[in-house]
């Protein structure tokens, strides 16, 4: 890695799945504000629904998700009942006809931890109260270690048409070091069962920076993953934050690759996937050249939301479950992250929202600049500011902040103000976005490293 890049690679940067980022959400946010926003939403607004299932069978040492390992299934059964209640409590707050849900996503945790009858009850509740638009995407994150042919058919029967797997790395030693044993054949069988059941849209997650990984292991994994032809592959850098995620203490510092290695691993995965029929998307996604996400990139319609890159054009995202984040044109809201607090609120018939943020006009303008940079590696901030009714001079300070990045090759600035991140600098696109973030305060251990 060019020595000039090291300081950028080591810097903490937000993921920019929203702007402002969740760090800016206010803790004294009143649920009534959220109720008002829902009521103001256009009657014909398209909707995206997210359901969070915070349970897993076994902890992966690298995990950064909001999840728990319950001793018995009872907790998950009670959680399901409360989720159904939360959906029932929220639906009457929305105006407009049913049938506007274009995307429905189960995330976690491991949504397939739920028994089939519980999963089906949630899908049915959303179908009954919200209704799916024709051709809606109904997606679920799943774990190949607890998957079966029967489950694949059961998911298809419920209406799921996309599945995401955490693959991470196929190397046996790496799997052992992260407490997630799932050999290649297990993943290959899961993909085959899904296809047989008619769920033909498949996503994989891969990781770099895990203990025991080398450039060779990640290349091998990327080749094997590409060989299974998933539609999309997301590639995340492992964020080692053991002071925040205690189970990560099971990962020994001496087994972790250094920053140089992490950079070379990320670049090696990029080259391998690009050479195997995948289009690089934004910071960390890859889509098969014939996939709709690659088409959205080329058509300029790609979006980024709390689930990452998406082709979902929905106007509003409504999240259910503990810690779920919702996004409306007016602002963001997050349900209680503490499961007991979330459960009490639902039991008492209240909304579980306890953090949020109203968007200002300037937030929307900066948010569009950052989203465009994250999606397309290029944006014209001056033009976007003017489209939003601002004097472009408001961004003079941001352009000044770009100067050292331009000098170090992270981006270019054209005469008309367009900011362009070269392909080979995509890993640093968030560093470029920082220049347009009016809230960012460098604070150690708040965000993950850029690489
Ligand atoms: S399966 Fe996913 S959510 Fe569950 S512990 Fe492993 S990484 Fe975390």
pLDDT tens-digit map of 223-235: 999 999 999 999 9
d(CA 57, CA 142): 12
Shared-domain flag, residues 424 and 436: yes
Query: Does ligand 1 have an atom closer than 6 angstroms to the CB of 56?
Result: yes
Shared-domain flag, residues 70 and 208: yes
Angle of CA points 97, 314, 351, to nearest 5°: 70
Domain that residue 411 falls in: 1-20+361-451
Shared-domain flag, residues 94 and 231: yes
Four-CA torsion 308, 67, 151, 313, nearest 10 degrees: -20
Q: Say if residue 448's pLDDT is above 80.
A: no
Strand partners, 318: 49
Q: In what order do the strands lie in the sheet with 378-379?
A: 378-379, 419-420, 412-413
168: left (phi over 0), alpha (psi -120 to 50) or beta: left
Shared-domain flag, residues 119 and 191: yes
Burial class of residue 234 in the structure, from the number of CB atoms within 10 Å of its CB (0-12 exposed, 13-18 middle, 19+ buried) = buried
Shared-domain flag, residues 373 and 397: yes
d(CA 404, CA 400): 8
Shared-domain flag, residues 51 and 190: yes
Q: Quick one: average pLDDT of 106-127? A: 96
List the CATH number of the domain containing 308: 3.20.20.70
Confidence (pTM): 0.95
Q: What is the pLDDT of residue 444?
A: 62
CA-based torsion, 430, 435, 436, 439: positive or negative: positive
Shared-domain flag, residues 143 and 214: yes
Residue 451: which pLDDT band, with cuts at 50, 70 and 90? confident
Q: DSSP character for 263?
A: H
Q: Which residue carries 């602002």 as its tokens?
A: 331
The more confidently predicted of residues 244 and 340 is 340
Best mutation site among 53, 55, 67 for ligand 1, i.e. most ligand atoms within 8 A of its Cβ? 67
d(CA 240, CA 256): 9
The more confidently predicted of residues 397 and 95 is 397
d(CA 371, CA 309): 10
* Domain total of the chain: 2
Contacts of 336 (CB under 8 A, 6+ apart): 322, 323, 342, 345, 352, 353, 354
Atom of ligand 1 nearest to the CA of 108: 3
In angstroms, what is the span from residue 56 Cα to ligand 1's centroid? Answer: 6
List the CATH number of the domain containing 417: 1.10.10.920
Residue 446: which pLDDT band, with cuts at 50, 70 and 90? low
Shared-domain flag, residues 9 and 155: no
Q: Quick one: average pLDDT of 288-299? A: 95
Query: Does ligand 1 have an atom closer than 6 angstroms to the CB of 167?
Result: no
Query: Does ligand 1 have an atom closer than 6 angstroms to the CB of 110?
Result: yes
Q: Average pLDDT over the chain, rounded to whole? A: 95
Closest to 79 in 3D by CA, of 271, 387, 291, 347:
347
Query: Does ligand 1 have an atom closer than 6 angstroms to the CB of 331?
Result: no
Report which protein residue has its CA nearest ligand 1's atom 3.
109
Shared-domain flag, residues 132 and 254: yes
- Is the distance from CB of 215 to CB of 260 less than 8 angstroms? no
Q: Quick one: average pLDDT of 273-290? A: 96
In angstroms, what is the span from residue 360 Cα to ligand 1's centroid? Answer: 35
Task: Enter the tokens of residue 288.
Answer: 């098969």
Give the end of a domain, one of 264, 291, 320. 320
How many other CB atoms sit within 10 Å of the CB of residue 395? 22
Contacts of 383 (CB under 8 A, 6+ apart): 392, 416, 417, 418
Give the end of a domain, one of 271, 298, 320. 320
H/E stretch holding 93 reads none
Best mutation site among 59, 62, 70, 307 for ligand 1, i.e. most ligand atoms within 8 A of its Cβ? 59
Query: Does ligand 1 have an atom closer than 6 angstroms to the CB of 250?
Result: no
Atom of ligand 1 nearest to the CA of 64: 8
Q: Say if residue 445's pLDDT is above 70.
A: no
Q: Say if residue 1's pLDDT is above 90.
A: no
Q: Quick one: average pLDDT of 271-283? A: 97
Does 155 map to a domain? yes
H/E stretch holding 325 reads strand 325-328
Shared-domain flag, residues 156 and 295: yes
Find the radius of gyration of the CA atoms of the chain. 21
Closest to 308 in 3D by CA, of 241, 414, 234:
234
Report which protein residue has its CA nearest ligand 1's atom 5.
59
Shared-domain flag, residues 312 and 395: no
Closest to 123 in 3D by CA, of 161, 96, 92:
161
């Amino acid at each position: 890695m060019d020595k000039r890049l090291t300081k950028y690679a080591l810097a903490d940067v937000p993921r920019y799945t929203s702007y402002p980022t969740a760090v800016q959400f206010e803790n004294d946010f009143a649920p009534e504000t959220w109720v008002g926003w829902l009521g103001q939403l256009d009657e014909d607004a398209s909707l995206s629904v997210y359901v969070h299932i915070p349970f897993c069978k076994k902890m992966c040492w690298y995990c950064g998700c909001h999840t728990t390992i319950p001793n018995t299934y009872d907790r998950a059964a009670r959680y399901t009942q409360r989720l159904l209640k939360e959906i029932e409590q929220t639906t009457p707050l929305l105006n407009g006809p049913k049938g506007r849900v274009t995307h429905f996503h189960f995330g976690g945790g491991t949504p397939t931890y739920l028994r089939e009858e519980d999963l089906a009850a949630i899908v049915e509740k959303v179908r009954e109260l919200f209704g799916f638009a024709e051709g809606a995407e109904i997606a679920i994150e799943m774990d190949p270690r607890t998957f079966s042919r029967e489950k694949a058919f059961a998911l298809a029967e419920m209406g799921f048409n996309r599945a995401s797997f955490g693959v991470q790395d196929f190397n046996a030693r790496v799997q052992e070091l992260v407490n997630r044993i799932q050999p290649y054949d297990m993943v290959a069988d899961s993909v085959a069962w899904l296809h047989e059941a008619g769920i033909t849209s498949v996503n994989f997650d891969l990781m770099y920076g895990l203990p025991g990984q080398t450039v060779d292991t990640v290349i091998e994994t990327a080749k094997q993953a590409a060989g299974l032809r998933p539609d999309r592959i997301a590639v995340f850098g492992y964020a080692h934050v053991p002071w925040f995620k205690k189970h990560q203490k099971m990962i020994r510092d001496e087994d972790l690759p250094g920053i140089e290695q992490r950079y070379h691993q990320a670049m090696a995965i990029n080259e391998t996937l690009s050479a195997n029929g995948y289009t690089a998307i934004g910071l960390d996604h890859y889509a098969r050249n014939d996939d709709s996400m690659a088409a959205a990139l080329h058509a300029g319609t790609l979006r980024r939301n709390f689930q990452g890159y998406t082709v979902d054009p929905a106007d509003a995202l409504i999240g259910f479950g503990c810690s779920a984040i919702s996004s409306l044109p007016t602002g963001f809201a997050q349900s209680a992250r503490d499961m007991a607090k979330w459960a009490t609120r639902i039991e008492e018939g209240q909304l579980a929202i306890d953090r949020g943020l109203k968007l200002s006009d300037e937030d929307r303008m900066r948010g569009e600049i950052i989203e465009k940079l994250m999606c397309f590696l290029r944006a014209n901030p001056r033009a976007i500011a003017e489209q939003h009714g601002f004097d472009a001079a408001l961004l003079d300070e941001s352009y000044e902040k770009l100067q050292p990045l331009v000098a170090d090759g992270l981006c270019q600035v054209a005469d008309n103000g367009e900011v362009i991140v070269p392909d080979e600098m995509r890993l640093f696109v968030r560093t470029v976005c920082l220049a347009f973030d009016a809230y960012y305060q460098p604070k150690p251990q708040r965000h993950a490293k850029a690489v």
